[in-house]
A and B are shown apart, each in its own frame.
Chain A
């Protein structure tokens, strides 16, 4: 038995060390250098960026108000996303509403859309006369759109909800599907009222899923950059993300770093406390024993419920895509009365349109960006999943509590770091002359490393659950039969967990290519990414180009998401 332990132990210890070093460089390193670069060399904080942010006449506008706005958006996004996601999950999994399968499929799409897609669509529809010029579609029809509906907290929150209710839906639907039908019918048979069944059995079972959905939406809301950047400025609605971006992009690095640290701290505290209350179940996919489900007959409410669910899906999935598509054909931004054109897709450069910018399919820069984006997505997906697998494998085999604890912790930390702050941290570590590591700023690799780091939590969880499906006995048997570690991984673990892991990799690909906030600070013109190009075009007022690229990203993401979900069939139990 002792020789056996030794034989297993050696390669695992080695692997554990490798994983720890990698996680150290990718997760701990950037954070450490972020903090280090804000500490004045002489230890005197009186003229430091810390004082600017926290205790100067500027602090209110630089930090406190943006902090309040970030929290407001995050909490409102989380509450609404969870409520809507739970409602849809209930309709799709437990009710007998017609079209519920179609609704279930469509409800997963908004999450695959880039987070600025709906913000762009919103601005096309609701843009009002506060910014003068050509109005949005509604104002163009003569309607009076109030400022609070066109700009600031309300539209920012609603566009984020439209993306992230989808995530809550996936998590809650999985939990509900795992809820044994026999449990519910048993309760009903023994005479419990519908309300009683809901509050005493269904709710406690899905509570962790509700909270997980809430926290994920909170994390996305607190760090989102695109929505407030596109919809906030005209009413001076700033969040920590937009302030951070503003500081760093205009060269005030230290101030940006300080805001990044503060954002990480705020997000981390709330997410950590929240996750503790879920008892560590966090956002791991809840799987349950599939027993025949019973659907709840809706009776008279059937029509209303179906209509509500259908409407929700329509305004968050179908409508934005339709609006974005239509606007790419309009000769003038958001005007459908001024003629239609294919110019923004296929047109040659014409000095009289958009300052001579050619259509997106004739734009070399965009074609290059498409290539870079896909390459970036694939590299991150492979890198993150490999690292996730290694980490999960070490945890599975290693008996050292310290090693396992550290790996689990470091694999979880990136979840607490908002994307834009992560971008800032990577600049601090890989982009400054004073850093001990090679300077990677302006290279493809800084993007890939940042992307991998941001994806570690998801890749690790996916790998853990995929490996978890392979029973330990199989591996032990192989060990007894004398198979090497490499052999065991290659012949047993890999083939048996391949489906789940490939699906996980594809979802990493999707979340990577559609994300803006992580890369907006890291991209340079030599390594263009589609998401950043879109943002730039939107900012410069090239609405049609921005919307067209958004559609290209959406198309790539949605196709890959659907494929991934197919591969990971078990993660969508409600559809079976």
Chain B
């Protein structure tokens, strides 16, 4: 009888917990606003009609977190000479702030945002309706669900450990992330200040989320279980503290990191966290960037690069046309429109576009794919923690 009671109450508790979890999950569902629901006139437009409407508007303004937008603008301008495209290269963190402030102020803003930093975008911009979802019908069937909801994702980008392959012809000089906390790498690890750039904060947040993996790698490397210093809750936090204590060098942009790590002619090149795809510029910029993909427990993170329409977009048609354009044409590499993104180290989300050559295929690349919902809850804590160990 007693046992029965116990079992019943336990299962009741479990049920209760499950139902709680169920509701909280339902609550946390991202309230995306669909751009075409706001402007139904576009829902049934053919492509030609859309072009016509966009040409009538004559302009489209885009904020993008990548400098590659300059090349996109060239291509778009060539394809639609009647439409002026105004492209601003603004980091995701700053974009989020600007989009929100401009929205609040009802000020002039962009039509299209091309933005990463999914945890903040999902949490703050989507639920407030600052950014709206638009998925061109043409590509809908080629995308997995997570790449069209809550926001359209046109590729996956990375922040992973890279090294200089000219200085290290025998392969990556780092096999385990914990090596970076040792004397050998003191003042020789570079990254962008994570308190200034969301992508980097997401990287460190992911290490905290994967504290168990970090702890296992510690033991693998040092041969003994990790001991946490006071105030460091888990192996992820401990790693951040140790990395900072080992004089990790903070720079202001990924291009600076690329230059630092990749520049040829260095004997004692640093390693650093940057975008895998920046390898594409090796020849032109005189870099020798290569990914340290085998660094345990993982070389870094992989995250979505998303496209959305702003609530106040003045050029609704042109905004749709640009997003459609940036999803590439129907050839297997996305054609000239997608070319700036069709580079080794970025991963197309369209299933009909094949992964670019010269990079590890997505299945073989062990970087962590972030879960924006989980990161969102932890980022601020990690940010504050960094402030204490800087």
Query: Please, how many angstroms separate the alpha-carbon atoms of A460 and B278 in the complex?
Result: 53
Instruction: Output the nearest chain B residue to A368 by Cβ-Cβ distance.
Output: B86
A11 at the interface (CB under 8 A from B): no
**Residues of B close to A351: CB separation below 8 A:** 71, 74
Partner of A440, one of B100, B105, B256, B261: B105
- B107 and A441 contacting across the interface, CB-CB below 8 Å: yes
- A131 and B108 contacting across the interface, CB-CB below 8 Å: no
B11 at the interface (CB under 8 A from A): no
B242 at the interface (CB under 8 A from A): no
B98 at the interface (CB under 8 A from A): yes
- B110 and A525 contacting across the interface, CB-CB below 8 Å: yes
- B286 and A249 contacting across the interface, CB-CB below 8 Å: no
A132 at the interface (CB under 8 A from B): yes
- Kindly supply a per-residue 1/0 record for chain B positions 235-271, scoring 1 wherever the CB is within 8 Å of any chain A CB and 0 otherwise: 0000000000000011111011001111100100110
A485 at the interface (CB under 8 A from B): no
Instruction: Output the nearest chain A residue to B89 by Cβ-Cβ distance.
Output: A540
- A133 and B259 contacting across the interface, CB-CB below 8 Å: yes
Partner of B251, one of A229, A233, A251, A352: A233
**Within A403-452, which residues are at the interface with B (CB < 8 Å)?**
427, 431-433, 439-443
User: How distant is A2 from chain B, measured CB to nearest CB, in Å?
Assistant: 52
**Residues of A close to B387: CB separation below 8 A:** 58, 61-62
Query: Please, how many angstroms separate the alpha-carbon atoms of A526 and B93 in the complex?
Result: 18
Grouping DSSP codes into helix (H, G, I), strand (E, B) and loop, the A interface class, with mixed when no group exceeds half, is: loop
Query: Please, how many angstroms separate the alpha-carbon atoms of A133 and B68 in the complex?
Result: 21
User: How distant is B165 from chain A, measured CB to nearest CB, in Å?
Assistant: 15
- A526 and B108 contacting across the interface, CB-CB below 8 Å: yes
**Residues of B close to A134: CB separation below 8 A:** 259, 263
- B101 and A431 contacting across the interface, CB-CB below 8 Å: yes
**Residues of A close to B86: CB separation below 8 A:** 364-365
- A540 and B105 contacting across the interface, CB-CB below 8 Å: no
- A540 and B255 contacting across the interface, CB-CB below 8 Å: yes
Partner of B196, one of A52, A250, A541: A250
A236 at the interface (CB under 8 A from B): yes
A349 at the interface (CB under 8 A from B): yes
**Residues of A close to B107: CB separation below 8 A:** 439, 441-443, 524, 526
**Residues of B close to A58: CB separation below 8 A:** 384, 387-388
B210 at the interface (CB under 8 A from A): no
- Kindly supply a per-residue 1/0 record for chain A positions 392-411, scoring 1 wherever the CB is within 8 Å of any chain B CB and 0 otherwise: 00000000000000000000
**Within A453-498, which residues are at the interface with B (CB < 8 Å)?**
none
What count of chain A residues pass the 8 Å CB interface test?
48
Query: Please, how many angstroms separate the alpha-carbon atoms of A431 and B70 in the complex?
Result: 30
Query: Please, how many angstroms separate the alpha-carbon atoms of A95 and B390 in the complex?
Result: 51
A356 at the interface (CB under 8 A from B): yes
- B106 and A439 contacting across the interface, CB-CB below 8 Å: yes
**Within B88-120, which residues are at the interface with A (CB < 8 Å)?**
88-90, 93-94, 96-98, 100-102, 104-110, 120
- B67 and A540 contacting across the interface, CB-CB below 8 Å: yes
Instruction: Output the nearest chain B residue to A333 by Cβ-Cβ distance.
Output: B259
Query: Please, how many angstroms separate the alpha-carbon atoms of A13 and B94 in the complex?
Result: 46
- A130 and B249 contacting across the interface, CB-CB below 8 Å: yes
**Residues of A close to B108: CB separation below 8 A:** 442-443, 524, 526
A332 at the interface (CB under 8 A from B): yes
Query: Please, how many angstroms separate the alpha-carbon atoms of A526 and B106 in the complex?
Result: 13
- B250 and A539 contacting across the interface, CB-CB below 8 Å: no
Query: Please, how many angstroms separate the alpha-carbon atoms of A449 and B71 in the complex?
Result: 37
Range, interface on chain B: 35 or more
User: How distant is A525 from chain B, measured CB to nearest CB, in Å?
Assistant: 4
**Within A135-180, which residues are at the interface with B (CB < 8 Å)?**
none
**Residues of A close to B266: CB separation below 8 A:** 132-133
**Residues of A close to B74: CB separation below 8 A:** 349, 351, 356
User: How distant is A129 from chain B, measured CB to nearest CB, in Å?
Assistant: 8
A541 with B259: in contact, given A356-B70, A441-B101, A441-B102 (CB under 8 Å)?
Answer: yes
- A357 and B70 contacting across the interface, CB-CB below 8 Å: yes
A250 with B195: in contact, given A58-B384, A439-B104, A540-B255 (CB under 8 Å)?
Answer: yes
User: How distant is A230 from chain B, measured CB to nearest CB, in Å?
Assistant: 8
**Residues of A close to B284: CB separation below 8 A:** 352-353
A292 at the interface (CB under 8 A from B): no
**Residues of B close to A541: CB separation below 8 A:** 253, 255-256, 259
**Residues of A close to B102: CB separation below 8 A:** 441-442, 524
Instruction: Output the nearest chain B residue to A58 by Cβ-Cβ distance.
Output: B387
- B70 and A441 contacting across the interface, CB-CB below 8 Å: no
A24 at the interface (CB under 8 A from B): no
- A349 and B390 contacting across the interface, CB-CB below 8 Å: no
- A439 and B105 contacting across the interface, CB-CB below 8 Å: yes
Partner of A355, one of B68, B249, B262: B68
Known: A351-B71, A439-B107, A442-B108. 13 other contacts (CB 8 A): A229-B252, A234-B249, A234-B250, A246-B196, A249-B196, A251-B100, A332-B286, A356-B74, A441-B101, A442-B102, A442-B105, A525-B110, A540-B67
Q: List 28 A-B contacts (CB under 8 A).
A: A57-B231, A61-B387, A61-B390, A130-B249, A132-B270, A133-B261, A133-B263, A233-B250, A234-B249, A236-B390, A249-B97, A250-B94, A251-B120, A349-B70, A365-B86, A431-B101, A439-B105, A439-B107, A442-B102, A443-B105, A443-B107, A524-B102, A524-B107, A524-B109, A525-B61, A525-B63, A540-B67, A540-B252
